[in-house]
């Protein structure tokens, strides 16, 4: 049976014996490995598609945790997943500014942050080089380093950052300010 040049879809040729059930089965088997599939979770996907039958490029939606996975040459990888946010443990003397400071694991490769931080006492500023909180250990080990942030505008000061330490502590680095934003910080995992 010949196949199409791009995706190798099987189709009957004029010289092939007439066998509609076998032709449809061959086409259905080919198509089933190239369409998005849906499963309750990774265990159900793995039971339905053993490693020996898995083909690179297969897509599978997992209802739990709500993620899209793709098969590589050797494993299933998460392409997209609904984020499960966890509160960041703020250091003593700090509280939320606007929205609760939180962290989540994004696609199994990055820790993402959101929310705002201010001092708990009204009118008190966050002092530069202060530890403001910690990333939950359940999210993995972040790559330590400096990450730019948004912060209160103070005229001549235009930039601040946070430093994420190997022990997951988040330190504000910059001039004394009233608040900082963690929105948009994307920290690679240290693998």
pLDDT on residue 112: 95
Q: d(Cα 161, Cα 142) in Å, to the nearest integer?
A: 16
pLDDT for 143: 94
Specify the pLDDT at position 160: 84
Q: Within 10 A of 117 (CB to CB), how many other CB atoms are there?
A: 26
Please report, for the chain, the start and end positions of each structural domain, with discontinuous segments joined by +.
33-81, 86-188
Looking at domain 86-188, what is its CATH homologous superfamily?
Phage bIL170 RBP, head domain (2.60.40.2460)
CA–CA gap between residue 178 and residue 97 (Å, rounded): 9
- What local confidence, expressed as pLDDT, does residue 23 receive? 87
Q: Which backbone phi and psi does 75 adopt, to 5 degrees?
A: -160, 165
Bridge partners of 104?
112
Q: Give dist(CA 144, CA 166) in Å, integer.
A: 5
User: Per CATH, is 33-81 categorized as 3.40.1620?
Assistant: yes
**Hey, how many other C-beta atoms are within 10 angstroms of the C-beta on 104?**
17
Taking the whole predicted model, whether its pTM rises above 0.85 is answered as no
pLDDT on residue 30? 83
Q: How far apart, in whole angstroms, are the C-alpha atoms of residue 50 and residue 71?
A: 12
User: Would you tell me how many other CB atoms lie within 10 Å of the CB of residue 185?
Assistant: 20
* Beta carbons within 8 Å of 15's beta carbon, 6+ residues apart: none
| Residue ranges, the chain, pLDDT below 50 | none
């Amino acid at each position: 049976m010949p196949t199409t040049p791009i995706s190798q879809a099987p189709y009957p040729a004029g010289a092939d014996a007439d066998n509609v059930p076998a032709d449809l089965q061959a086409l259905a088997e080919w198509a089933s490995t190239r369409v998005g599939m849906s499963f309750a979770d990774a265990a159900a996907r793995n039971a339905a598609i053993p490693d020996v039958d898995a083909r690179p490029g297969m897509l599978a939606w997992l209802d739990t945790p709500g993620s899209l996975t793709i098969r590589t040459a050797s494993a299933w990888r998460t392409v997209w997943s609904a984020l499960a946010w966890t509160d960041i443990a703020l250091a003593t003397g700090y509280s939320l500014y606007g929205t609760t400071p939180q962290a989540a694991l994004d696609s199994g490769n990055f820790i993402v942050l959101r929310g705002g931080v201010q001092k708990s006492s009204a009118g008190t500023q966050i002092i530069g080089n202060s530890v403001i909180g910690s990333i939950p250990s359940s999210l993995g080990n972040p790559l330590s380093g400096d990450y730019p942030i948004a912060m209160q505008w103070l005229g001549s000061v235009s930039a601040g950052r946070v430093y994420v330490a190997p022990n997951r502590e988040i330190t504000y680095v910059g001039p004394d300010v009233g608040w900082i934003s963690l929105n948009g910080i994307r920290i690679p995992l240290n693998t």
